[in-house]
Amino acid sequence: MADYPNFRLFDVLEYQLDKFPKSDMLNAKVKGIWQHHSTNEVADTVNKLSAGLYKLGVRCNDCTAEGSDKVAIISANRPEWLFADFAVQQLGAVFVPIYPTTNPLELEFILNDAQVKYIFTGDAALYEKVNNIKKNVPSLQNIYTFDEVENADHYTKVIELADAASLEKVAEIKKGIPTSHTATIIYTSGTTGVPKGVVLSHTNIVSCVFLAKASFPFADNPQSKVLSFLPLNHIFEKVASYIYMYSGISIYYAESMETIADNLKEVQPDGFSTVPRLLEKVYEKIMLKGNELTGIKRKLFFWSVALAEKYDNLVDGGFFYNLQLAIARKLVFVKWKEGLGGHINFIITGGAACQEKLLRIFNGAGIPVYEGYGPTENSPVISVNRREKGGSKYGTVGPPMNGLEVKLAEDGEILVKGPTVMDGYYKRPDLTAEVLKDGWLHTGDIGIWVDNKYLKITDRKKELFKTSGGKYVAPQPIENKLKESAFIEQVIVVGADKKFVAALIVPSFATLKDWMKTQGIPFTTNTAAIQEPKVLELFNTIVTEFNQLFNHVEQVKKIELLPDEWTVETGEMTPKLSVKRKVVMDKLKDVIEKMYS
């Protein structure tokens, strides 16, 4: 079994001060200029913020998840996010992070369920969102903002409350907080139903941080830096942040999702964590630029991509292939790397399945992408592909993390046991009992072992459906395969209790537009484009080709093209960019019925 230290999460401040004090621990752009916060400055700010919160009455009380005071946050990524995280932990209170995109009804539910006492908000819009429901949350005493917002209390007002006595009290409280104490309650947005609060202790998250560090591994390298843009309230990015901080790696926050490309060039990071959806977007942009090339440059571009598509880290391609790939990397892929800042030596992707084709192409291009897997309930990492020789296999989520026990139930469900497994769902012993049995977390994911070493996710247990012919169909592998087409942006496979399998497809309109141009078909609107007979013929041909890869019962017999992309804003995607299958199917139930009528 792998080992991990007996730390609390906030001990990272002392750890970093002792091992590698930094001048740029946390960094963000303010009014167009990068502002750097040193380890020393962060530790000082956090202690004062803790002391101010103590003066406001934030307490550990009986130091249980139920008994401790709750402080929430709803904000985009920024240094202040972590200031608040550390400050709340140091008092033994419980931090409740909330996605900025959370709708008002869910927000109200979470604040009431956790009985949140105070909340930090990022900007004016988020302040208004909370302020509009404040009257419906009796426990909520005040809202503090990170931006200067008219008629709102700035978070520095809490810092100003700190005095010598309260700082001394914080130092005393910190010493007495056990590693078993709850650090955070993370409400999973889920793809259906009411949010569930996942209770995670310091031990849960610290063990995940250090077991991941040992498995991956992340070297302690105070010269390294990363760009952070996935929401910090998602456990994947939160744990990644603690891995970076415990490794002495500086964190730079992207200004927004729209500025990632610019920020990568400015910061020139060594790595970042992402979700497959964003990698797909990067790849689509690269391919669109490739399509604009002409002559020898175009030939060279597509020759290079075809080479990378065949890349296999476990099988030597031989002298001639390796020579060709080296030429492609020097002439074509070097520009891809420059687009990512020029210094990338790791990208970690999780949160959803990544297309195997993308993994081969990026790794073949010399841009190392490592896929990992794990649910919030496991803090979250269960398995991860590694840098070491033989540690990665594309199409799998890698070997289980050192220090965890992982097995498959009779029906293929992935079960995990170890220090990373959550304490349970907040105030929901009924739901906890459903997923925690004899110390084993039942993930709800179906998997198989590949080569007796690598874990491969094949589907979600609840997403398997049965056709009217009584045959089981796993939609996810079919969807992942269809998404390999440059013309398919998003897809959902349907067919529960129906006589055949069908698919709802959102085309990649940028790619489709280019194709229509080559066919002499004018593009006016998305809606008009998907009604063009030649476009329908194209998509039917694509699906027919992919059908050859599926069993007869899994083959897609009918498709419906949709004019609008599914987004977080319109409610069909979770904040971590997974499709909410139930929401899409509810919204499009008439379309689905029509397909089967």
* The Cα angle at residue 354 between residues 488 and 107, in degrees rounded to 5: 90
How many Cβ atoms sit within 10 Å of the Cβ of residue 411? Answer: 8
- Radius of gyration (C-alpha) of the chain in whole angstroms: 25
CA-closest candidate to residue 198, choices 207, 211, 189, 208: 189
Backbone torsions φ then ψ of 511, nearest 5 degrees? -70, -40
597 residues of the chain, pLDDT tens digit each: 468 999 999 999 999 999 999 999 999 999 999 999 999 999 999 999 999 999 999 999 877 889 999 999 999 999 999 999 999 999 999 999 999 988 898 899 999 999 999 999 999 999 999 999 999 999 999 999 999 999 999 999 999 999 999 999 999 999 999 999 999 999 986 544 678 999 999 999 999 999 999 988 777 889 999 999 999 998 999 999 999 999 999 999 999 989 999 999 999 999 999 988 889 889 989 999 999 999 999 999 999 999 999 999 999 999 999 999 999 999 999 999 999 999 999 999 998 788 899 999 999 999 999 999 999 999 999 999 999 999 999 999 999 999 999 999 998 999 999 999 999 999 999 999 999 999 999 999 999 999 999 999 988 888 888 788 777 788 988 998 999 999 999 999 999 888 899 999 999 999 999 999 999 999 999 999 999 999 999 999 999 999 998 888 899 999 999 999 999 899 899 887 888 888 999 999 999 999 998
H or E segment and range at residue 304: helix 295-309
DSSP annotation of 354 reads P
Strand partners, 253: 228
Q: Cα–Cα distance between 130 and 74 in angstroms, integer?
A: 9
Q: Cα–Cα distance between 90 and 69 in angstroms, integer?
A: 12
CA-closest candidate to residue 283, choices 351, 232, 354: 354
Extract long-range pairs of 511-519: CB within 8 Å, 24+ residues apart.
Answer: 511/284, 511/287, 511/288, 511/486, 511/487, 512/487, 514/288, 514/291, 515/487
H or E segment and range at residue 324: helix 319-328
pLDDT value of position 219: 78
State the pTM of this model: 0.86
Are 234 and 208 in contact by the 8 Å Cβ rule? The answer is no
* The Cα angle at residue 40 between residues 36 and 42, in degrees rounded to 5: 60
